[in-house]
Amino acid sequence: MRNMTTPDRNRVQLTGISSRAYEHPADRSALVAMRSLSGFDAVLKRTSGLFSERRLRLMFLASAVRTTDTQFRALHDMGRDSAYILDLHRIPEIYVQQDPKAYAMAIGFDEPFIIVSTGLLDLMDDEELRFVIGHETSHILSGHAVYGTMLAILTRLATRVAWIPLGYIGLRVIVAALEEWQRKAEMSADRGGLLAGQDPDAALRALMKLAGGSRLHEMNIEAFLDQAREYDTAGDVRDGLLKVLNMLGTTHPFAVTRVAELDRWRRSGEYDRIIGGTYPRREDDGNASITEEIKAAANSYRESWAQSQDPFIGVLRDVAEGAVNAGERIFNRFSRREN
């Protein structure tokens, strides 16, 4: 059992919160579908020789520093607080790994744990770190490890069958879809990190630092948001295509996109509604409709396309809408003939 202590300042505990409260619609629809497949995660764990939670935990237990009340206590308390606020039944272990690169990750199926690099500790202040730990805790609450492991397995398999053209193409299509899912999963975890830390400015600063480093006095969040808007609107159709190509093979959205998306979500009022106690509960997860979640995901993409000023997205939107209209006309024509 965890130690039910309260955070070190007045943050709201989100009792019984479902991860559906903060998940991006495209992420949520995939997860609802996966959760409906009874025993899928158990099958994946048995068949995967790539991932061994026990082996990895032993490796970090031997080569990293586990946070406790006497080691990296502040970080340990952040993990406790994030678990308390998001109402996890077990506090994930946190390990600090020596590495100048700034990163954090959540690993595991049954007893997930969090890895934080010393580079990240050196880069972030306490409130920014709290957002990062909340981000990783949100990954754990959502159960993102199942899909993430599938992505790693298929990526590795794709390299082995690259000499088989059709097999490779088919796997690359699946991998590309999973990479798109994981990018949306990162946006979900950003929202969860904000809910855990409950400091919007610190959350945006943390994401901005991932792009520009520690010299915060040289950066400005409003200017960075302007940069995000310029990225969205800059160039012509060719630049839009290059943006899409730049995303191939990536599992995280670019920093300007993450800042803009998190700021947009907060300003939408959803963050305040959740903090105010209006959110889906975990006890109702079993009643979530796959069909409704897929519709929500489609609407989310449709809204993001409508909001985008990218000329390439505009072309794709026009083509997609034209195809839908043509399909409706053909369907109506055949319907009239049959009648």
What is the residue extent of each domain of the chain?
19-289
Pairing mode of beta strands 94-97, 113-117: parallel
> Is 76:68 a contact under the CB 8 Å cutoff?
yes
Query: In 3-state terms, what secondary structure has residue 288?
Result: coil
Residue 260's φ and ψ, nearest 5 degrees, are -65, -40
Query: In 3-state terms, what secondary structure has residue 242?
Result: helix
Q: Where are the beta strands (DSSP E) in the chain?
A: 65-66, 94-97, 104-107, 113-117
Dist. CA 185–CA 191, nearest whole Å? 10
Task: Tell me which range, 144-148, 187-191, 226-230, 290-294, is most confidently predicted by mean pLDDT.
Answer: 187-191
Residue 229's φ and ψ, nearest 5 degrees, are -65, -40
Q: What is the mean pLDDT of the chain?
A: 77
Q: What share of the chain is helix, strand, coil (3-state, %, to 5)?
A: 70, 5, 25
pLDDT tens digits, 33-49: 555 555 555 555 555 54
Q: Amino acid identity of 322? A: G
Is the pLDDT at 274 greater than 50? The verdict is: yes
Q: Which alpha helices (H) appear in 112-144, and where do they start and end?
A: 118-123, 126-142
pLDDT tens digits, 178-237: 677 778 889 999 999 999 999 999 999 999 999 999 999 999 999 999 998 888 776 665
Query: In 3-state terms, what secondary structure has residue 143?
Result: coil
> Is 80:3 a contact under the CB 8 Å cutoff?
yes
What's the mean pLDDT in 8-25? 87
